[in-house]
Amino acid sequence: MTQADAALASAPDRADQPARDQARSDQAGASTRERILDVALDLFTEQGFDGTSMREIAERLHITKPSIYYHFASKEEILMALHVRLHEFVKPAFAHLTGQPVTLEAWDSLLNELVDQMVAQRKLFLMHERNQAAMEKLHRKDLDTEHDDIQQRLRQALADPSLPLRDRVRMACSLGTAFGALFMAGDAFDSVSSAELGSLVRDAVRDVVADRST
């Protein structure tokens, strides 16, 4: 192969190089953003939103404060991003409430999926519980609308007159069982592994949902 042929063969690679460089840059930026969120999650959980500074987040990451501000305009924006994470994790489970009849079996499946998501993100729920005052100050219309939509779906399912009242009450109680153990209990079960806690919560939910009359 001549030098000219070699140059032509490598030309497409050189032409694609800016796109590859941009893709690597985007990936690195996304990775840094997620690392900021992970460290902020730890600090907000350990010492609270108000007790954590942007400087502490930067020091924990061994980066500069301007590097954080490149991704987030404020500490409140970091908290909002963590709140969005919470919505994104629970949204798939509640999607089952749309477009199909809600039976005890379907509800049991929904809660199993929800428990799996909640156990996998225990720290996120704990951070939310420990920073409720800061969370209440957050406001974003699209998230408020989404939250209201999930609540509306739940209320519609629990108010469905085609389902026996005892089933609807059992469904409501089972939801409280899951949230009580994984959210309202705070750090009471910190020493319990996620696998064991998830199994115990699923057993408790199944006990509440089960129709023992049959």
CATH number at residue 30: 1.10.10.60
Q: Residues 86, 190: one domain?
A: yes
For residue range 125-159, list pLDDT tens digits in order: 889 888 989 988 887 666 677 677 778 888 888 88
Q: Residues 175, 195: one domain?
A: yes
Q: Residues 85, 181: one domain?
A: yes
Range of the domain at 143: 79-214
Last-in-domain residue among 57, 72, 87: 72
pLDDT at residue 203 in the model: 92
Q: Residues 179, 138: one domain?
A: yes
Q: Residues 94, 200: one domain?
A: yes
pLDDT at residue 138 in the model: 81
Q: Residues 85, 178: one domain?
A: yes
Last-in-domain residue among 21, 49, 72: 72
Cβ 209 vs Cβ 178: under 8 Å: no
Q: Residues 157, 138: one domain?
A: yes
Q: Residues 84, 64: one domain?
A: no
d(CA 109, CA 96): 9
Q: Residues 157, 210: one domain?
A: yes
Q: Residues 89, 168: one domain?
A: yes
d(CA 154, CA 150): 6
pLDDT at residue 75 in the model: 96
pLDDT at residue 25 in the model: 42
With a cut of 70, which residues of the chain have pLDDT below it? 1-30, 98-100, 140-143, 146, 211-214
Q: Which residues contact 153 (CB under 8 A, 6 or more apart)?
A: 94, 97, 98
pLDDT at residue 71 in the model: 95
d(CA 116, CA 199): 9
Last-in-domain residue among 53, 72, 91: 72
Q: Residues 63, 84: one domain?
A: no
Q: Residues 160, 123: one domain?
A: yes
d(CA 108, CA 114): 10
pLDDT at residue 5 in the model: 54
Count of domains observed in the chain: 2
pLDDT at residue 156 in the model: 84
Radius of gyration of the chain (CA): 23
pLDDT at residue 24 in the model: 47
